[in-house]
A and B are shown apart, each in its own frame.
Chain A
Amino acid sequence: MPVSPPPPFPDEAKFSPRHANVPSWLREPLVHFLVLGGLLFALDHTLVGRTDNPRTILVDAKVDGEAREVFKASRGREPNEAELYALRRVWLDNEVLYREGLALGVDKGDTAIRERVIFKMLSIVDAGLKLPPIDDKQLREWFEKNRVKYDEPARYDFQEAVLSGDRSEAATRAFVETLHKGTPGELNAGLRVFKGRPHSNIVQGYGEEFAKALEESPPGEWHAQRTRDGWRATRLESITPPKPAVYETLRGVVLQDWTDAIMAEQRSAAVRALTRKYTVKVEPVNK
């Protein structure tokens, strides 16, 4: 249905609550449409479907179809005739507002719109990507090159007997002596129990020096150990040795990872190619 000028919508004066079957949202179309999730619908429709005369607005079956879907998702039923009529009116009002807004440049500087457009453009870029063929030998080679990602590192079970208050070296060593004697009731503030922590996590929490000392200490003995933020009483419980990954058992995961990696490379290359259309001037960073 081509609409130019707009069709004769009902007299707005009739839209009051006393006319119970006539939606009052006509009074505030944008707000209600936002609630129905319709903004993206309008934006999407405009971005994808606006190929004709910019001064002509087409309210067609596609609009009706999407309006029905949005309404159904919100209310759980099909809109009746009056409600569909109202939704068309809402859509039209929003389309007019959207076009006028674009004409005024109100989308400029709006990060939400910018990100949405970027997302859609990335989808278009992705649609143009094509994965090269890969055989099992090549995939295995890629797996070996990225093996560190798949190998299971050594994992350490350890405990910390928590010292409350003074955490100096002297206090910690004295506390460890008490622990060695096994005096009942002297766990002080309690135990922290760590299971299966890899080296990287121990370094992150306590520092490299502590990690090395812990990992080399004999299991089952309390030690006063210096960490990045003070002394702690810790005890290595056990070590689970590292386990190399087996390609055959991970082939599906590896193939997906390879696909993601190649797609990312191709996506970056495609965007770089688009960048060549532009002259990029980089200003120095303000200091």
Chain B
Amino acid sequence: MSLGVSKSQIALAVLAALGAATVGIVADTASADKAEGKYVAGDFHNHTTCSDGSISMQKLVKKATDKVDTPFGLDWFVQAGHGNSGGTRNCTLVEDATLSTPAYPFIPGTGPQTTWSNSIGIANVKGDQPGTGGVNGYMWRWQSIQEYQYPLIEYLSTLKNLPLFIGLESIVAGHEHASMSVITGQIPLALDPANLPTSPGPLTARYTPLGNADGLAQWAYCFDAGVTDTSRGGGQHWECSVPGSANSTSAALGFNAAAQKIIPVAPVGTNGHLKTVEAMKWMVQFHPTGSYYVPAHLERAGPFNPTGNNGYNIEHLRDFNNTAPNVAFGMETQPGHGASDTRGEYTIRRNNIGGINTDSVGGTTYGGTGVYGAQIGGVWDALLGEGRNFWFFASSDWHNRGSFGPDDRRSSQDFFPGEYQRNYTMVRNGDNEGKGNRSETKLRPQEIVDGLRSGNNFAASGQLIDRLAFVACIGNPAPHGRSNSAVESMAVNAALDNTDIDHKGCVTMGEKLVVSPGSDIVVAIVVRDPSGTNYSPYSFNNPSLAQVGIKQPLNMPVLDHVDVIRGMVTGYKTPGTNDYSGQWPNDWITPYLSGKTPTLATVPAGAKNTTAAVIKTFNDATWATLSREPEFKAMTFRIEGVRASQYLRLRGTNLPPNVPFETDADGNPLPDLFTNPAAVSQTKAGANDGFPANNFLRIPCTVTGTNVPANGVTFSGTGIDGCPNHLPVVNGVKMVAFDVAAWADLWFYSNPIYIEVTGSSTVAGVK
């Protein structure tokens, strides 16, 4: 097997693509019979005051979906607060009259901070009342979803004709959080058309929905670790057993007969994990295609802790995916909180486990992505190396803007959904005709979840790219064998149309190409690096790039290069065997602190895939720019004579290799610790080995500018032309941190294409 490419080959290929779409094509033009669809941008993890966010549902939906005022304008949006973390405030009350709607008018003197007690009255708050709520009324998430948040999201979805639905950021038994939903019942076809009310109902039922989120509400009651309510849904007689699964009613795990659910007993980590596996089984049994479950910021809370609720090791991800492959199909390894003083809220010595302050797994994020997704040959590659359907996702995790108000464009904590990170998901709505009376272009929750499940998804930060066609075709033999130029032509057309390819013998992300041994594979990649400005409010030059003499405005990032990563597929690991499990090393970040790089040698066999490597890298010296559409860059190469099953995936960034404190000589992202201003805890009580604030900051920000607003004034504009005043100062010099660090350091990640070679390992996770 060999890899070969030259600039002249690429140039010829693109000339063919641009000259005529049919030049040099095609052994077989048969369709693979995919329904039509487009890549659409969305977010499924964010918060309102119904959990611990800072704004109303209405304001968040407007911020996330408005394409003019905001203007981050996502195509689809899932509102998903914590299972229970906060719960005293009524997020359906709007901040001001501009957010009024007929069914949910503004009530002067109230807003999303108003308590349930002061709005609907405490008598209407259901279930057990824990002491933490006091007189404010502590509403369990199941009730707020079922009775308040779902009706509002259905109303807004219908009123604004937007694809919205309700999800949950579950507080997970035994682990860190997870983004999930049960969509059964939500946004039914009966809404097409719906007659919306012109006046509000009572505060307890502003709008009476046609659909429901009963399935999600029941799931929250049954399986969210934060929902310690035992009322069985306040008289709805919910029970949480899974037919045929003894663990779901196991007293040894903590099954509570009154509550009809497991309340894990010690060891809560181990038993909590088993409870969460039951949650997977419940979704498979009752909502097999109408649910999803994606561990969120899964490295943040450190490794798995058998006696507490901390993180995930690879075996837990395998357990989930084995139990519910159509539900637990990925991870949110690119967390939100991108502007935080600990990017992603990951940091070293963050989690007290057994008296030791233990690092987030990997210690920090790497270019905004957790180590499970960012490390080539690490956990994600280990899972892909088994041939699993386990996909990469990003999220905003919006709560607030730190020291700024929600309408300020600066942030020292979070970005709004769509402002910085986006999932671009292939949603196939082309077969909608005849469903309801709406246009066939309407996106429905089922199609969005199907799109997420398919793995045909890429994630990008800072609008680095907003189109991607990633295609692999059989290069030979016949009947499907195609030339490089033919495949590139296909990819160019797909990218121009914001869709994917539909040809036999060709596949894209989340799919597998089954070939005979010795076949050639032609791979074509086309990205759009959009011109103009992104949503960064900063127009001064990127201080990270300034370190290597590159002058590039922060709000006009340019894609520097695209890496193609390949790993070999060797099949599923067997539960109980040594290489099924493996905890990522707790001291992973230590070598970086002395300018070195850790190696996979310290990673357990089960948590790595040492065959994964960059096999191609493209940049403006080796990709071709489409002459009629210069925002589009095309890259094509051929893998000759494949003999073993494998996968290909992509990453790209605005940063060239060897940018101090950002990328290493091979272009890998370095720890974001060097832009995290937060102080670092000591390793344990009395150890006296902590680090003060700003200790690790390394990248100066020296542009002064003339449009640099003061910190105490809301700034809703753009074009800040000097380093902002909220940056930390070290020895009199502002240092890159917070949102400036995020806007300086942009990445995209694709999901993989699998190539299954007949007689080699089966890619069992993709049908």
Contact = CB atoms under 8 A, between A and B. Distances in A.
Interface in A8-40: 15-17, 19-25, 27-28, 31-32, 35, 37, 40
B561 interface: yes
Interface string B1-16: 0011111110000000
B658 interface: yes
B658 A25 contact: no
B206 to A, nearest CB: 13
Contacts of B115: 24, 27-28
Nearest to B661: A204
B618 A201 contact: no
A217 interface: no
Contacts of B7: 187
Contacts of B667: 192
Nearest to A16: B118
B110 interface: yes
Contact of A191 (B4, B114, B619, B693): B619
A75 B688 contact: no
B107 A286 contact: no
B94 to A, nearest CB: 12
A264 to B, nearest CB: 5
Contacts of A20: 107-110
A184 B613 contact: no
Nearest to A159: B621
B657 interface: yes
B617 A191 contact: yes
A201 B616 contact: no
A260 interface: yes
Contacts of B547: 201
B349 to A, nearest CB: 15
B483 to A, nearest CB: 14
A155 B657 contact: no
Q: How large is the interface on A (under 10, 10 to 19, 20 to 34, 35 or more residues)?
A: 35 or more
A120 B656 CA distance: 40
Nearest to B109: A23
Interface string A69-96: 0000111100000110010000000000
Interface in A179-195: 184-195
B199 to A, nearest CB: 15
A194 B96 CA distance: 52
Contact of B405 (A22, A28, A74): A74
A16 B135 CA distance: 13
B614 A192 contact: no
B203 interface: yes
Contact of B732 (A16, A186, A264): A264
Interface in A197-240: 197-198, 201-202, 204-206, 227, 229
B243 to A, nearest CB: 44
B709 to A, nearest CB: 12
A232 to B, nearest CB: 8
A63 interface: no
A15 to B, nearest CB: 8
B592 to A, nearest CB: 13
Given A35-B113, A188-B3, A285-B688, A21 B656 contact: no
B107 A164 contact: no
A165 interface: yes
B714 interface: yes
B86 to A, nearest CB: 10
B405 A32 contact: no
A115 interface: yes
B405 A197 contact: no
B497 interface: no
B192 interface: no
A260 B732 contact: yes
B731 interface: yes
Interface of A: 15-17, 19-25, 27-28, 31-32, 35, 37, 40, 73-76, 82-83, 86, 111, 115, 155, 159, 162, 164-165, 184-198, 201-202, 204-206, 227, 229, 260-261, 263-264, 285-286
25 contacts: A17-B118, A17-B203, A24-B119, A27-B118, A27-B136, A28-B113, A35-B54, A37-B712, A75-B95, A82-B109, A159-B621, A162-B614, A164-B614, A185-B9, A189-B616, A190-B622, A193-B620, A193-B621, A193-B656, A197-B658, A198-B549, A201-B658, A229-B597, A261-B732, A286-B688
Interface of B: 3-9, 54, 95-96, 107-111, 113-115, 117-119, 136, 203, 405, 547-550, 561, 595, 597, 613-622, 656-658, 660, 664-665, 667, 679, 686-689, 693, 712-714, 731-732
Nearest 7 interchain pairs by C-beta: A205-B658, A185-B4, A23-B109, A196-B549, A190-B617, A205-B665, A185-B6
